[in-house]
Amino acid sequence: MSKDLTNSALHRQNILNNSYALQEIEKATHITGIPFEGKTVVLKEQVADFFEVTLRTVENYLSQYETELARNGYEVIKGNRLKSFKLVLQEMDVPEIYFGNIAKIPQLGLLDFRAFLNLAMLMVESERARLLRQAILDIVIDTINQRTGGGTKYINQRDEDFLHSWFEEENYRKQFTDALRECVDMGNFKYPLYTDKVYVSIFREKAKEYHKILRLHEKDKVRDTFYAEILDLVAAYECGFADVLR
């Protein structure tokens, strides 16, 4: 998985969109923050302290990648939400160095864990960010190995593009099954039925038949045998089906 996350918005988003991977990363990294509205958040001052960079450096990234970071959990709070957050800070006795004179702050930027990881994937000045990126990639590989039966069982999984395509296909697969659940009223049979439609369109074979052709065990997943290009094609079909159904 040699591709640099700092240079690829697509690869960053593939990881950040996968809730299972994020759970494993959060458990492994033990990043501590401030509990607020049911999630853990950090201030930009805490981010600067963690990555051992200046506050200006963090602010530059927040400005340059504002759209991407906002999509992944960065937000600026004010009004009643800011009042509630100030109370949380006071109760936790968070050092004032992280937020200045709290009584005079009209608004405050917060990053949840997802946005924090997003920033780590972007920051090139920080050695700690580089180490965290490496940890993220290691955990991603372990996560995929766990979900595909442990280890690189098929030769395609040694391809550096497989991991990125696998996550992307997982995300589109969820969109596909969500669309089936919400738009098709025919019980659980609809999932294998529409999966077969995808496979017949691409391979001229139903999923079960393709399973037999490859001589896979019952618990093996056909998609785990695909190379990156085929995973991308399946993802495109599933995404297209989801759009049509909606």
Tell me what percent of the residues of the chain surpass a pLDDT of 70: 69
- Reported confidence tier of residue 99, pLDDT bands at 50, 70, 90: low
Alpha-carbon distance 200 to 161, whole Å?
25
**Using an 8 Å Cβ cutoff, are 54 and 45 in contact?**
no
* Maximum average pLDDT range among 32-41, 174-183, 202-211: 32-41
Parallel, antiparallel, or unpaired for β 74-78 and 34-36?
unpaired
**pLDDT tens per residue, range 145-165:** 665 555 444 334 444 455 555
Structure-block tokens of residue 66:
């504002």
The dihedrals phi and psi of 34, each to the nearest 5 degrees, come to -115, 125
Which residue has 């990648």 as its token pair? 65
**Four-residue CA torsion sign, 5, 11, 12, 18:** negative
- Reported confidence tier of residue 213, pLDDT bands at 50, 70, 90: very low
Q: Residues 6 or more apart from 215 whose CB is under 8 A from it? A: none
**Using an 8 Å Cβ cutoff, are 111 and 69 in contact?**
yes
Which residues in 22-44 are b (16+ Cβ under 10 Å) and which e?
A: bebbbeebebebbebeeeebbbb
**Using an 8 Å Cβ cutoff, are 72 and 16 in contact?**
yes
Which residues in 159-170 are b (16+ Cβ under 10 Å) and which e?
A: bebbbbbbbbbb
**pLDDT tens per residue, range 28-76:** 777 778 999 999 999 998 899 889 999 999 999 999 999 999 999 999 9
Structure-block tokens of residue 128:
């700690």
Instruction: Sketch the domain layout of the chain as residue ranges.
Output: 5-138, 149-245
